[in-house]
Amino acid sequence: MTEIDKLNFDKNNGLIPSIVVDETTSQVLMLGFMNRESLQKTIDTKLVTFFSRSRKSLWTKGETSGNYLKLSKILADCDNDALLIFAKPEGPTCHTGNYSCFGIEKENLNFLKYLFKLIQSRKIELPKNSYTSKLFQEGTNRIIQKVGEEAVETIIAAKNNDKNEIINEVSDLIYHLFVMLVDREIELEDITNKLTERHAK
């Protein structure tokens, strides 16, 4: 998390432009401005809070609509005069009802990267009542077995030409493949790099 004292609030009359990004999708949600007080409130409450230049006061995003932005992390740029804020949106971010203030439609492809990192954290932390934790505790052979089971079920669904079942089984297969990769200490980037290498040939 960014240290407030290292930030340059003087450059823009006490304000720092702050870009909010969806933690799960990595898509840009909105741009706001923070002063020292609003940034401190954001850190303390874990709810993204800005300084309204028109009202000359603090406002917590979602305090009226209920569409809060729950803070995940804050990064400062190289000059310490702009912020990148990762948050989990609770509902649409824009007052128009859109997902993003920039008219961007939500895309979930980056969720795969988020899921992979979550599985990695499960391997380390092994929280109770987690199916992923249970798989890691049961060991490599069980994880590999599950990949095989889900692969067979995916084939059967495809042979039956059942679209919903194909979606369900492919989702299960991808999840268990991710668990296997994490178990074998292979990064998702290793796979994407190999696919990129093959595509370039």
pLDDT digits (tens, 9 = 90+) for 87-142: 999 999 999 999 999 999 998 888 899 899 999 999 999 999 999 999 999 999 99
Instruction: Give me the domain span that covers residue 84.
Output: 4-89
Any idea what the Cα angle at residue 98 is, between residues 57 and 93, rounded to 5°?
Answer: 35
Q: Which of 89, 121, 152 corresponds to the end of one domain?
A: 89
Q: Identify whether 125 is part of a domain.
A: yes
- The total number of structural domains in the chain stands at 2
Which CATH number characterizes residue 143's domain? 1.10.287.1080
Q: Which of 32, 56, 89 corresponds to the end of one domain?
A: 89
Query: Consecutive 10-residue runs of the chain (201 residues): their mean pLDDT?
Result: 85 94 93 96 97 94 95 95 96 94 89 93 96 98 98 98 97 98 97 91 70
Structure pTM?
0.71
Q: Identify whether 103 is part of a domain.
A: no
Q: Does one domain contain both 196 and 125?
A: yes
Q: Does one domain contain both 83 and 145?
A: no
The amino acid that residue 61 corresponds to is K
Q: Which of 89, 124, 153 corresponds to the end of one domain?
A: 89
Which three-class secondary structure state does DSSP give residue 28?
strand
For residues 99 and 26, the answer to whether their CB atoms sit within 8 Å is: no
Q: Identify whether 168 is part of a domain.
A: yes
For residues 20 and 32, the answer to whether their CB atoms sit within 8 Å is: yes
Q: What pLDDT is recorded for position 110? A: 83
C-alpha 134/C-alpha 24 separation (Å) is: 24
Q: Identify whether 105 is part of a domain.
A: no
Q: What pLDDT is recorded for position 1? A: 64
Q: Does one domain contain both 126 and 82?
A: no
Q: What pLDDT is recorded for position 167? A: 97
